């Protein structure tokens, strides 16, 4: 992705609409919001990811000569418009929530304020990138939670939906809390730990399992994890591994990390039996790692059953977010800038109340309990609203307005979540490293109540509207209703 020009990575209708705006409109500034409607897997929160790649995309945005030639060949674009495209660059403002932040449905994750032609073009790629990486970071975060402090290794490249899905999925998985990835390219590009053991083919290429283990231990004495299920885990694999560990000990070799990996069979039973065998042989510090179609639910259950596994390789189900393989982020127009510079709120109505958008040029304040540092609620408001945390704050549920919470002045803190990323087309933000984002994400998860992190039926974090935003939205809906019935 880093070297390919992604400018044409867009839906055709973005370009036909652009030409439409070119022909019919003043190219006025508009506000578009990226937001999502539900946390994946019915979880209590999601994790923002992908901003660095959005920034790269916006910076590189230009139509090459070949791009324009291709579009000309479609026979639907005018020469004037193609000429405009050949000089195109992004000149607008982008605000976004930083990567690694915990996020909730309905709130703007990315806000684009730009001339309508530019704002329209960037819809598809921004959604593609944010949807993908936030999905995998969120899934990884769930898997890491289920493992209760054990390390999770990302092993999914071979089952990812194409090269980028493996590469940026690995990036997102590290953000979500994985300790490393098998993906060497991800390790190189993002400077994150790469990990791995060996495959069944290693065992099969030697005359017997013992010899295969012995050679592996000789070559990699410091990270010696032996895959024990090629022939028979408890009758052959574990005994051969113990024999090799014993020989290493006899030779005075003290590996930094060593142990076995289970990749089939019942992981609860096999791990407990293997633990007994290893302990009896005096290898109490040998690590038992496991893989094989794991996800957060299976790890959760294996933990409950007392599986003696402390290191987990998770592939397919995490890299594809198997039970929920799309994040569902959308990109909706929220306002048009009027001639006087003011933002005129716009709303998209729907028969489904959940799908009605929040109008206007907005921001989000996250409200924390001052004593615990935990999140009380997120408050979506107009970008120019000002709050004084010494004053009482009244929060109310926008779908059940009688549900009110009053926070006394001094008992809460507020933090604005949308950060300026591009101003007048210039990037003013420097992305942290992936390791820094991962460390920040861990802190972010500490701002969640335990009830919100639970895998099943978690407590919902409230995302409320300011009184002013609520009133504006209600008025727009009433006006539309009157118009429709007249």
Q: Does 477 bind a second copy (CB under 8 A)?
A: no
Q: Does 39 bind a second copy (CB under 8 A)?
A: no
Q: Using CB under 8 A, pick the residue from 134, 271, 321, 452 that binds a second copy.
A: 321
Q: How far apart are CA 225 and CA 217, in angstroms?
A: 8
Q: How far apart are CA 336 and CA 412, in angstroms?
A: 34
Q: How far apart are CA 201 and CA 367, in angstroms?
A: 54
Secondary structure (3-state) at 213: helix
Q: Does 262 bind a second copy (CB under 8 A)?
A: no
Q: Does 42 bind a second copy (CB under 8 A)?
A: no
- What is the token pair recorded at 92? 């607008």
Q: What is the per-residue binding string for a second copy in 212-231, x denoting contact by CB under 8 A?
A: ---xx--xx--x------xx
Query: Shortest Cβ distance from residue 10 to a second copy (Å)?
Result: 6
Residue with tokens 């980028």, as numbered in its chain: 164
Query: Shortest Cβ distance from residue 285 to a second copy (Å)?
Result: 21
Find the binding residues for a second copy in span 68-127 (CB under 8 A): 70-71, 74, 76, 116, 120, 123-125, 127
Q: Does 63 bind a second copy (CB under 8 A)?
A: no
Q: Does 161 bind a second copy (CB under 8 A)?
A: yes
Find the binding residues for a second copy in span 139-158 (CB under 8 A): 155, 157-158
Q: Does 486 bind a second copy (CB under 8 A)?
A: no
Q: Using CB under 8 A, pick the residue from 93, 138, 183, 358 that binds a second copy.
A: 183
β-strand pairing of 343-345 with 46-47: unpaired
Q: How far apart are CA 73 and CA 136, in angstroms?
A: 38
User: Taking a C-beta distance cutoff of 8 angstroms, is the pair 263, 229 a contact?
Assistant: yes
User: Taking a C-beta distance cutoff of 8 angstroms, is the pair 366, 419 a contact?
Assistant: no
Please state at what angle helix 123-146 crosses helix 434-445, rounded to 10 degrees: 60
Q: Using CB under 8 A, pick the residue from 148, 205, 433, 446 that binds a second copy.
A: 205
Secondary structure (3-state) at 419: strand
Cα–Cα distance list, 193 to 170, 189, 196, 260, 484 (Å): 11, 11, 10, 20, 58
Q: Using CB under 8 A, pick the residue from 37, 83, 89, 348 that binds a second copy.
A: 348
Q: Does 322 bind a second copy (CB under 8 A)?
A: yes
Q: Does 52 bind a second copy (CB under 8 A)?
A: no
Q: Using CB under 8 A, pick the residue from 9, 276, 394, 428 that binds a second copy.
A: 9
Which C-beta is closer to a second copy: that of 159 or that of 374?
A: 159
């Amino acid at each position: 992705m880093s070297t390919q020009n992604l400018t044409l990575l867009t839906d055709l209708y973005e370009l036909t609409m652009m030409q439409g705006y070119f022909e019919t409109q003043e190219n006025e500034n508009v506000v578009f919001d990226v937001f999502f409607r539900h946390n994946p897997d019915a979880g209590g929160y999601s994790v923002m990811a992908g901003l660095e790649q959005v920034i790269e995309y916006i910076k590189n945005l230009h139509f090459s000569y070949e791009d324009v030639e291709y579009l000309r060949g479609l026979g639907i674009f005018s020469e004037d418009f193609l000429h405009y495209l050949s000089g195109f660059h992004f000149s607008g403002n982008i605000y976004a929530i930083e990567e690694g932040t915990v996020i909730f449905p309905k709130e703007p994750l990315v806000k684009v304020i730009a001339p309508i032609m530019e704002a329209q073009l960037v819809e598809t790629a921004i959604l593609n990138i944010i949807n993908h990486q936030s999905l995998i970071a969120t899934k990884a975060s769930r898997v890491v939670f289920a493992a209760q402090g054990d390390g999770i290794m990302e092993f999914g490249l071979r089952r990812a939906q194409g090269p980028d899905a493996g590469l940026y999925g690995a990036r997102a998985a590290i953000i979500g809390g994985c300790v490393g990835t098998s993906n060497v390219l991800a390790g190189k590009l993002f400077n994150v730990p790469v990990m791995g053991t060996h495959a069944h083919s290693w065992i099969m290429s030697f005359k017997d399992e013992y010899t295969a283990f012995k050679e592996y231990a000789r070559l990699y004495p410091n990270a010696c994890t032996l895959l024990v299920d090629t022939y028979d885990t408890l009758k052959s694999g574990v005994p051969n591994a113990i024999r090799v560990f014993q020989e290493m000990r006899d030779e005075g070799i003290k590996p930094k990390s060593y142990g076995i990996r289970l990749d089939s069979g019942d992981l609860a039973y096999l791990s407990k039996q293997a633990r007994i065998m290893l302990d009896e042989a005096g290898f109490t510090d040998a690590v038992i790692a496991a893989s094989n179609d794991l996800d957060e639910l299976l790890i959760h259950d294996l933990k409950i059953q007392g599986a003696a596994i402390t290191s987990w390789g998770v592939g397919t189900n995490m890299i594809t977010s198997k039970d929920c393989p799309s994040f569902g982020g959308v990109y909706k127009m929220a306002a048009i800038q009027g001639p006087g510079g003011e933002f005129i709120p716009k709303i998209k109505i729907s028969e489904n109340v959940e799908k009605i958008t929040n109008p206007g040029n907005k921001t989000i304040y996250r409200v924390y309990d001052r004593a615990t540092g935990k999140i009380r609620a997120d408050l979506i408001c107009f970008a120019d609203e000002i709050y004084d945390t010494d004053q009482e704050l009244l929060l109310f549920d926008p779908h059940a307005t009688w549900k009110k919470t009053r926070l006394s002045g001094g008992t809460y803190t507020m933090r604005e979540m949308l950060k300026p990323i591009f101003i007048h087309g210039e990037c003013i933000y420097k992305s942290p490293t992936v390791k820094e984002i991962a460390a920040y994400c861990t802190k972010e998860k500490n701002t969640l109540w335990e009830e919100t992190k639970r895998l099943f039926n978690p407590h919902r974090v409230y995302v409320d509207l300011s009184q002013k935003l609520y009133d504006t939205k209600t008025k727009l809906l009433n006006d539309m209703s009157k118009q429709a019935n007249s």
